[in-house]
Amino acid sequence: MINALIIVIAFVFDGVLTNFLPYMPNDLSLFTPLLTLTTIFLIYPFYKKKEVSYYLLIFFLGIIYDLFYTNLLFFNAILFLGIGIFSKYIYKNFNLNYFKIIIYIIMIIVVYEATSALLILIFNLVPITLERILYKITHSLLLNIIYAEIIYFIINLLPKKYKDISIN
């Protein structure tokens, strides 16, 4: 239940913030949201023993994200699945704490933006340059790191009876 609430909040905030913050090429805010992407990483511990459910959830979340925000059906669904697999790898091989969350969120945003740019380049949808990719990455880090730290803090404050598993 908590994980569904976190997903809905991130999804709604993504939409609200992209409507109120500049989101044009070369005019991005330093607070460019990728909160749904950050949430995909943060909710993995709730699905540690139900990985198929996790992958189905993020795939359908990607389809909904595509329908509402990008109009490229299955684009983010596939990218979110890749991020889900990457998240599983991080959780299974590394420990998490407040400092490491920053590093992992940076890694996830870089992987997402680089993969997204590579797919856009392969299918020649819009012209992409390395400078543009770096610009998007740097302008989306601040808000997403702050959001991840806050959500991670809230999840750690929850009593164990509300969590499917312990995060730490």
Q: Which two tokens stand for residue 150?
A: 């806050």
Task: Please give the Cα distance from 29 to 20 (Å, whole number).
Answer: 10
Q: What is the pTM of this model?
A: 0.87
Dihedral over alpha carbons 74, 71, 29, 4 (to 10 degrees): -60
How confident is the prediction along the chain (168 residues), in pLDDT tens digits per residue?
A: 788 899 999 999 998 888 787 666 666 667 788 999 999 999 998 888 889 999 999 999 999 999 998 888 899 999 999 999 999 999 999 988 899 999 999 999 999 999 999 998 888 878 888 998 898 898 889 999 999 999 999 888 877 665 554 444
Q: Which two tokens stand for residue 29?
A: 């805010």
Task: Please give the Cα distance from 62 to 79 (Å, whole number).
Answer: 8
Q: Which of 86, 109, 101, 118 is nearest to 32 (CA)?
A: 109
